[in-house]
Amino acid sequence: MCGITGWIDWNEDLTKRADTIEKMTETLELRGPDASGTWLSRHCAFGHRRLSVIDPANGAQPMVRPVKSAEDQDCVVVYNGELYNATELRNELAGLGYRFRTTCDTEVLLLSYVEWGPACVDKFNGIFAFAIWRTDEETLFMARDRLGVKPLFYLHSEGRLLFGSEPKAILAHPDVTPEVDAEGLAELFVIGPARTPGHGVWRGFRELLPGHCLTYDRDGLRTAAYWRLESRPHEHDAEETARCVGELLADTLERQLVSDVPVCTLLSGGLDSSALTALAVRYYGRTGQGQVHTFSVDYVDNDKHFQAHDFQPNADAPWIERMSRHLSTVHHGVQFDTPELVEALEAAVLAKDLPGMADIDASLYLFCREIKKNATVAISGEAADEIFGGYPWFHRQDALEAETFPWSLAAGLRTGLLSPELRQALRPEEYLGDRYAQAVAEVPHLEGEDSQRRNMRRMSYLNITRFMPTLLDRKDRMSMAVGLEVRVPYCDHRLVEYVWNIPWEIKMTGNREKGVLRKALEGVLPHDVLYRKKSPYPKTHNPNYLSAVRTRLLERLDDPASPLLPLIDAGRVREIAAQTDASSHLPWFGQLMSGPQLFAYLLQMEFWLRHYKVKLVT
Active site residues: 2
- CA 315, CA 331: separation in Å to the nearest integer? 18
553 alpha carbon, distance to own chain's centre: 28
Beta bridge partners of 129: 80, 144
H helix or E strand, kind and range, residue 63: strand 63-67
CB-based burial label for 218 (10 Å; 0-12, 13-18, 19+): exposed
Terminal C-alpha separation, the chain: 37
Q: Where are the alpha helices (DSSP H) in 75-151?
A: 86-95, 105-116
46 alpha carbon, distance to own chain's centre: 24
- CA 191, CA 411: separation in Å to the nearest integer? 10
The three-class DSSP label of residue 180 is strand
- CA 165, CA 79: separation in Å to the nearest integer? 10
Exposure b/e, 364-392, CB count within 10 A at least 16 = b? bbbbbbbbbeebbbbbbbbbbbbbbbbbb
Q: For residues 85 and 126, is the Cβ–Cβ distance under 8 A?
A: yes
- CA 576, CA 45: separation in Å to the nearest integer? 50
* Among 23, 24, 21, 3, CA closest to 12: 21
Q: What DSSP character marks residue 533?
A: P
- CA 142, CA 131: separation in Å to the nearest integer? 4
* Among 598, 576, 594, CA closest to 586: 594
Peptide bond into 193 cis (omega under 30): yes
Q: What are the Cα distances from residue 443, in Å, to 122, 436, 456?
A: 22, 11, 11
- CA 485, CA 157: separation in Å to the nearest integer? 32
What are the start-end ranges of the E strands in 228-275? 263-266
User: Beta-carbon neighbour count of residue 85 at 10 Å?
Assistant: 15
User: In which order are the strands placed within the sheet that holds 2-9?
Assistant: 35-40, 44-50, 2-9, 160-164, 153-157, 205-207
What are the start-end ranges of the E strands in 208-344? 212-217, 220-225, 263-266, 293-299, 330-336
The three-class DSSP label of residue 581 is coil
Q: For residues 43 and 14, is the Cβ–Cβ distance under 8 A?
A: yes
